[in-house]
Chains A and B, each alone.
Chain A
Amino acid sequence: MDALQLKRQLITFTELLFREGFLDEQFHQLQQLQDEKNPNFVVEVVSLFFEDSERLLNELAKALDQQNVDYKKVDAHVHQLKGSSSSIGAQRVQRVCIVFRNYCNEKNVEGCLKCLQQLKHEYAIVKTKLEALFSLEQQILAAGG
């Protein structure tokens, strides 16, 4: 496939991601920040996000596994995750975080666990999509675009 086709594919894919709500305007902003001075800005930020999220998801699983759940800690982690996801525009993840925080306030462990599952799910999806996006970009670069 040549660069042009790849580029069109990239555009379609990106549009799809936006339409389906995986990403929002913030991601677009990130893309705008990428320039000659900062050629890999988006990838760097997104990698940071992956690291951070995985760590936070582990912490959450551990925290919710306790007999006496420390809701303050859980809330702190979710808050962090919400912040990160909103910074890169992972809209769906961010939405789940909001619901998660509500359950935390209500000290509803069932709800929290449900949200955690959802988070993991959403995170997995968005990670896959972003990785696909990046690989497309790589391919474009490789093809000379």
Chain B
Amino acid sequence: MMESCNCIEPQWPADELLMKYQYISDFFIALAYFSIPLELIYFVKKSAVFPYRWVLVQFGAFIVLCGATHLINLWTFSMHSRTVEVVMTSAKVLTAAVSCVTALMLVHIIPDLLSVKTRELFLKNKAAELDREMGLIRTQEETGRHVRMLTHEIRSTLDRHTILKTTLVELGRTLALEECALWMPTRTGLELQLSYTLHQQNPVGYTVPIHLPVINQVFSSNRAVKISPNSPVARIRPLAGKYMPGEVVAVRVPLLHLSNFQINDWPELSTKRYALMVLMLPSDSARQWHVHELELVEVVADQVAVALSHAAILEESMRARDLLMEQNVALDLARREAETAIRARNDFLAVMNHEMRTPMHAIIALSSLLQETELTPEQRLMVETIMKSSNLLATLINDVLDLSRLEDGSLQLDDETFNLHALFREVLNLIKPVASVKKLHLTLNLAPDLPEVAVGDEKRLMQIILNIVGNAVKFSKGGTISITSFVAKAEYLRDAKTPEFFPVPSDTHFYLRVQVKDSGSGISPQDLPKLFTKFAQNQARLAARSSSGSGLGLAICKRFVNLMDGYIWIESEGLGKGCTATFIVKLGIPEQLKESKFLVLPKVPGNHVHANLAGLKVLVMDDNSVSRAVTKGLLLHLGCDVTTVSSSSECLHAVSEEQKVVFMDICLPGMDGYEVAVQIRERFAKRHERPLIVALTGHVDKMTKENCMRVGMDGVILKPVSLDKMRTVLSDLLKHRVSFEAI
């Protein structure tokens, strides 16, 4: 029986086979559809990064529902209930809804997903680029390192050969070159000679002319230039490889001798000398010159140039130093020889000085003695001639010896206090006889402000004045000779004729100016400059008289004047018009105030009244019995009341206010006369009670004098003392004591 059921009839008749296939397919589809989400979930769970989970969920739902649909479809192949149909419908509806939603979602999602892909690609490209740049930087850094290392190697030596050899070796190593060669310009500059190579030990002197086009090309640029391997500079060894010789690069190396240069701008001079460095890559390696390698080569070439210049400069300076050392040695030798010569000369002079003067003096002395005896007129004449000649000879000898001592500076002035007025008077006295014979009138003018006493070398000053006045007398036949002398004031000192002479008077010195005018034969203008040169004689003057001097007189005068910080010059209006000789010398002002209290052998015995010495109580301390007795006798003779002691202790014991003067010998070894003086001074506080203390000593020198002054002694006397000296000293002592009390 056919029941009416709510079953739905399938659309098509049940075809068993097709049905079966569909049935199976649906089953598998459902299976797949159910497993896909499971797989998705599983893998998504595994991956950490997946931002679109909702999409997955939707997709999963869509797939599950699709699967469910197909699964449920399985039941519709046969007769199925309405429930199944309902379920099937709801499943389909649901699936439709979800799939539409998913479809809509995907519109948004897919562009995003695609863009992710683009970004990924972009990043990959960037990474590749960075990689490339890293590679580049690394290469550059390595190059830099190589350059530094090369430079260090090159610059660690200052030897030219080492520099060049090292360069080639290091370059060869760094760049893995097959061959590296250096061509240096020859002396002529017309050829390049192969000087160094990397692998050949002793390069045979290959030369190439310097004006090849390839060489010019390289020399004209400061960059490394690729050249053909077949060019003459590159063909230095037989081809090693079978196919292709490696690429060749050449660079110029400037050879400089400049000491300072900027690396970046070599001055482009046309006369520059260059060397050529040729670098060859290994054959058959298909390697190419990279930019950074070329840069390396250029930098190295520059460094080499610098290093070579330094080496050249060093060579130069070493040579200069060696030369200097040689010169120094030679100079030293010359100096020592000169010193030896001077010493020998001085020794000779010293000996000759004495040796020559002794017989001279003997001759002069004996001839003068001879003159005193009874002589016939002829004999007298002969003796006079002998006298004159020997005097002249003595003067000559003295002059020569003086001059040679003056010349090498060994002459020193003997400065002492002397009477200036007296000096001039003596000059006058000496010259008067000669002058009167020649009927010359002598006048002497001393300025009123000319000091009476001065400090200087009296003997030599006299020599200067005598020489000049003597010349004036010698070269005049009549008329007047006037000697004027005054203190040179500042205005007069800046004379137009003495432009180089700037004397400066001071408190301790003054400048004496002496002018000697004669009306004699004069001097022609051309002879004026020669006057002070030794041995040069004035021709006119020679003719004017018979006798001759050594010609040294004025030269010696000039030297002496110079030694005295002065200046001497001669003026003449011409021949026959007389001449004027003037000189200025520096003299010291004597320290009269200091010396007044201190008596040391008063040279200028004044006309003072001798004080009354009778009964003067004096004490004499001397350990030498003879000296003591003599001094005592002296003082007794002068009328003093003398007490004698022989030791310092006795002296201190015996000294009292009664004694007015104490004489003590201070050159006693052991006994300290100074100490006694100090003690006496201390004992007698009041000045007028204190006895005057005078030192007796066998020698008076500056130190002794200073020591005496220091301890406060009142005088120093040189033993042995003469009667007059003692009298004068005592009088002066007493006189000054009185004057002290008046202060």
Name A residues whose Cβ lies closer than 8 Å to a Cβ of B: 25-26, 29-30, 32-33, 35, 37-38, 41, 44-45, 48-49, 51-52, 72, 75-76, 79-80, 82-84, 86-89
Contact = CB atoms under 8 A, between A and B. Distances in A.
A86 B723 CA distance: 15
29 contacts: A26-B720, A26-B722, A29-B634, A29-B722, A33-B630, A33-B637, A35-B637, A37-B637, A38-B633, A38-B636, A38-B637, A45-B630, A45-B633, A48-B625, A49-B626, A51-B625, A52-B626, A79-B669, A83-B627, A83-B667, A84-B626, A84-B627, A87-B624, A87-B626, A87-B629, A87-B630, A87-B720, A88-B626, A89-B720
Contact of A33 (B623, B627, B634, B698): B634
A48 B633 CA distance: 13
A14 B636 CA distance: 25
Interface string B647-684: 00000000000000000010101100000000000000
B723 A83 contact: no
Given A26-B720, A84-B624, A87-B624, A76 B630 contact: no
B633 A30 contact: yes
A79 B626 CA distance: 13
A87 B622 CA distance: 12
B719 interface: yes
A76 B626 contact: no
Contacts of A48: 625-626, 629
Nearest to A89: B720
A32 B624 contact: no
**On chain B, which size bracket covers the interface?**
20 to 34
Contacts of B627: 83-84, 87
Interface of B: 623-627, 629-631, 633-634, 636-637, 665, 667, 669-670, 698, 719-720, 722-723
A83 B626 contact: yes
A131 B479 CA distance: 65
Nearest to A46: B626
A83 B719 contact: yes
Nearest to A83: B624
A48 B629 CA distance: 8
Nearest to B623: A80
A45 B720 contact: no
A37 B632 CA distance: 13
A32 B723 contact: yes
Contacts of A38: 633, 636-637
A29 B720 contact: yes
A26 B665 CA distance: 18
B559 to A, nearest CB: 34
Contact of B624 (A29, A30, A80): A80
A44 B630 CA distance: 10
Nearest to B624: A83
A38 B632 CA distance: 11
A27 B667 CA distance: 22
Given A52-B625, A83-B698, A25 B722 contact: yes
A87 B636 contact: no
A29 B723 CA distance: 7
B723 A87 contact: no
A12 to B, nearest CB: 20
Contacts of A35: 637
Nearest to A88: B626
Given A52-B624, A52-B625, 17 more contacts: A26-B720, A26-B722, A29-B722, A32-B637, A32-B723, A33-B633, A33-B723, A38-B637, A49-B626, A51-B625, A76-B669, A79-B667, A83-B719, A86-B720, A87-B627, A87-B629, A87-B720
A78 to B, nearest CB: 11
Q: Which of B625, B631, B633, B698 has the most chain A CB within a 10 Å cutoff? A: B633
Contacts of A45: 626, 629-630, 633
Contacts of B665: 83
> What 6 A-B pairs have minimum CB-CB distances, sorted nearest first?
A84-B626, A87-B627, A83-B624, A87-B630, A33-B633, A26-B720
Contacts of A32: 637, 723
A33 B629 CA distance: 11
A84 B719 CA distance: 11
Nearest to B636: A38
Q: Which of B637, B670, B719 has the most chain A CB within a 10 Å cutoff? A: B637
Nearest to A51: B625
A30 B630 contact: yes
Nearest to A75: B669
B633 A82 contact: no
Contacts of B631: 87
A82 B698 contact: yes
A79 B622 CA distance: 13
Given A26-B720, A52-B625, A83-B719, A88 B630 contact: yes
A88 to B, nearest CB: 6
B666 to A, nearest CB: 12
Given A84-B627, A89-B720, A41 B698 contact: no
A80 to B, nearest CB: 6
Contacts of B630: 30, 33, 45, 87-88
A44 B629 contact: yes
Contacts of A82: 698
A76 B668 CA distance: 8
A86 B636 contact: no
B625 to A, nearest CB: 5
Contacts of B623: 80
B639 to A, nearest CB: 9
A17 to B, nearest CB: 17
A41 B630 CA distance: 9
Nearest to A85: B626
Nearest to B637: A33
B725 to A, nearest CB: 9
A76 B670 contact: yes
B625 A37 contact: no
Contacts of A44: 629
Contacts of A79: 667, 669
A52 B719 CA distance: 18
B698 to A, nearest CB: 7
A29 B636 CA distance: 13
A74 to B, nearest CB: 11
A29 B634 CA distance: 9
A44 B636 CA distance: 14
Nearest to B626: A84
Contacts of A26: 720, 722
A86 to B, nearest CB: 5
B615 to A, nearest CB: 14
A38 B635 CA distance: 12
A83 B631 CA distance: 12
Nearest to B670: A76
A30 B631 CA distance: 10
A129 B667 CA distance: 30
Contacts of A25: 722
Contacts of A51: 625
A27 to B, nearest CB: 10
A125 B633 CA distance: 25
A124 to B, nearest CB: 18
Nearest to A49: B626
A25 B720 CA distance: 10
A68 B630 CA distance: 36
B640 to A, nearest CB: 12
